């Protein structure tokens, strides 16, 4: 119809060729995450998990509309910028895509949820659903919740709940040091840590609670010195990416040998960098588990993932749920076009996640409730390692349907 559209269609056709096109109806999911630039490893890891889940759990099984349709993942590079994300969102909607997936960065997720809300209000004939697979800022399912947003990862509060359970059960821990990045997510983590520890173990002293500028600290040694000086028995941090590596290495390098509880202390080079030093020290709270495999199906799924993507890691197990759950909702509605009905079908859905066990999409706030694990870094008893480093994470504490009844401030307005 016009030149620009032809260009876009051309791009889609090109990416189609790689995924061996079939003659079935395609239900497309726009995957909007950073695929270039400093955060590309996060985006590419997520994309690989989506692709693998779509192939193994939906398309090969003919699980979408009795095999008459297939999912297709269409990647869009948002360069982790809010502006680029909104442009890519617009491009995706123009291409007729009605399912938008994003997760890297809560800032971007906030921008998208806001834009989706406005778009759906302004264009009732072209409504879209926002599938948030890993942005964990609690606000998204609390004050800022909206009907079109579904979060498949456990939010920062839920993760902290599981994490502090682990701490509460360890009588050796009497002093905790909380440190994080200075932005909404880091603050949410710190607030949750203080709240849950006070609730579960009032005797634990919080010997440090501080925020450092995000992505600006070159050398974490001064922070590590404070942790040592405070004689902490455990560290809690929500840091990710370079800030996680820097902080972890500095703390361990300063002679700290007690647990470091993290949200994102594995994969994307982090595990390889911690190496031997991190074994027995680095813990991670997250949804689902890779080690030990939850079931034979989970093991087969993970094995075939690593055969296909040996350079990457299955670091975010909950991402494997997004497409299969969407498929169930579409099947229930009977078509992939009635987006509002599909959103209603997703609400309250109960699902058996391949890596996350029993999973419920809570109706009140669209927050997925699933198995949470606290994993520890080790080099023994691993079925799958991370970063090809011989080190990996093994689930140590497993909480099924974690925080099922946790409170939410969400007042969902349903259309």
Kindly identify the residues of this chain, within the stretch 106-145, that bind other proteins according to CB under 8 A. 106-107, 110-111, 114-115, 118, 122, 137
60 binds other proteins (CB under 8 A): no
**Distance in Å, CB of 414 to other proteins, minimum:** 20
Assess whether the previous peptide bond of 377 is cis (omega < 30° from 0). Answer: no
- 225 binds other proteins per the rule CB under 8 A: yes
Instruction: Give the nearer residue to other proteins in terms of CB position, either 182 or 297.
Output: 182
- Alpha helices, DSSP H only, in 60-153? 82-94, 106-122
Contact segment (CB under 8 A) with other proteins among 57-65, 104-112, 320-328, 347-355 equals 104-112
Nearest to 192 by CA among 180, 216, 316: 180
Residues in the chain: 415
Stretch that binds other proteins, among 166-174, 262-270, 325-333, 362-370 (CB under 8 A): 262-270
Interaction pattern, residues 155-194, with other proteins; x per rule: CB under 8 A: ---------------------------xxxx---------
Residues in region 337-376 near other proteins by CB under 8 A: none
What is the CB neighbour count within 10 angstroms for residue 204?
A: 18
Phi, psi of 55 (to 5 degrees): -65, -55
The yes or no reply on residue 403 touching other proteins (CB under 8 A) is no
| 36 near other proteins, judged by CB under 8 A | yes
Are 303 and 341 a contacting pair, CB within 8 Å?
no
Give the residue carrying structure tokens 């799924």. Answer: 301
Residue 21 contacts other proteins per CB under 8 A: no
Question: Is residue 2 close enough to count as binding other proteins by CB under 8 A?
Answer: yes
Strand 205-212 to 175-181 pairing:
parallel
- Shortest reach from residue 359's CB to other proteins, in Å: 27
CB-wise, 60 or 358, nearer to other proteins?
60
Taking the C-alpha atoms of residue 376 and residue 279, their distance in angstroms, rounded to an integer, is 8
The Cα–Cα gap between 235 and 262 comes to: 8
Q: Which of residues 68, 296, 307, 405 is near other proteins by CB under 8 A?
A: 307
The H-assigned helical ranges of 267-370 are 270-278, 296-308, 322-333, 339-346
> Out of 62, 222, 334, 415, which residue is the one contacting other proteins (CB under 8 A)?
222
């Amino acid at each position: 119809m016009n030149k620009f559209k032809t260009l876009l269609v051309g791009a889609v056709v090109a990416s189609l060729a790689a995924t061996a096109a079939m003659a079935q109806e395609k239900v497309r999911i726009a995957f909007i995450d950073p695929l270039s630039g400093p955060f590309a490893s996060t985006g590419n890891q997520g994309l690989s998990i989506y692709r693998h889940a779509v192939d193994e759990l939906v398309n090969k099984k003919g699980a979408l509309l009795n095999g008459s349709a297939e999912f297709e993942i269409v990647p869009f590079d948002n360069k982790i910028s809010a502006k680029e994300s909104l442009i890519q969102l617009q491009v995706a909607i123009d291409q007729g895509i009605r399912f938008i997936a994003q997760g890297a960065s809560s800032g971007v997720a906030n921008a998208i949820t806001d834009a989706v809300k406005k778009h759906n209000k302004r264009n009732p004939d072209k409504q879209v659903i926002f599938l948030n697979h890993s942005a964990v800022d609690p606000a998204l399912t609390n004050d800022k919740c909206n009907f079109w947003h579904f979060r498949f990862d456990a939010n920062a509060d839920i993760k902290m709940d599981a994490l502090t359970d682990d701490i509460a059960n360890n009588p050796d821990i009497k002093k905790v040091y909380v440190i994080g990045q200075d932005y909404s997510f880091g603050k949410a983590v710190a607030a949750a840590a203080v709240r849950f520890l006070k609730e579960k173990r009032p005797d634990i002293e919080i010997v440090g609670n501080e925020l450092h500028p995000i992505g600006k600290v070159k050398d974490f040694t001064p922070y590590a010195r404070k942790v040592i000086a405070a004689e902490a028995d455990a560290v809690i941090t929500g840091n990710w990416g370079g800030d996680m590596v820097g902080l972890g290495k500095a703390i361990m390098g300063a002679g700290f040998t007690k647990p470091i509880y993290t949200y994102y202390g594995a994969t994307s080079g982090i595990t390889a960098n911690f190496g031997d030093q991190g074994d027995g020290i680095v813990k991670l709270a997250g949804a689902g588990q890779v080690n030990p495999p939850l079931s034979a199906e989970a093991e087969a799924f993970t094995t075939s993932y690593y055969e296909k993507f040996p350079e990457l890691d299955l670091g975010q197990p909950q991402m494997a749920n997004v497409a299969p759950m969407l498929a169930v909702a579409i099947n229930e509605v009977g078509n992939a076009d009635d987006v509002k009905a599909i959103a209603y079908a997703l609400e309250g859905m109960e699902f058996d996640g391949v890596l996350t066990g029993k999973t419920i999409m809570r109706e009140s706030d669209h927050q997925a409730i699933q198995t949470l694990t606290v994993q520890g870094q080790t080099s023994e008893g691993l079925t799958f390692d991370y970063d090809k480093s011989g080190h990996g994470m093994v689930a140590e504490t497993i909480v099924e349907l974690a925080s099922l009844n946790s409170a939410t401030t969400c007042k969902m307005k349903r259309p």
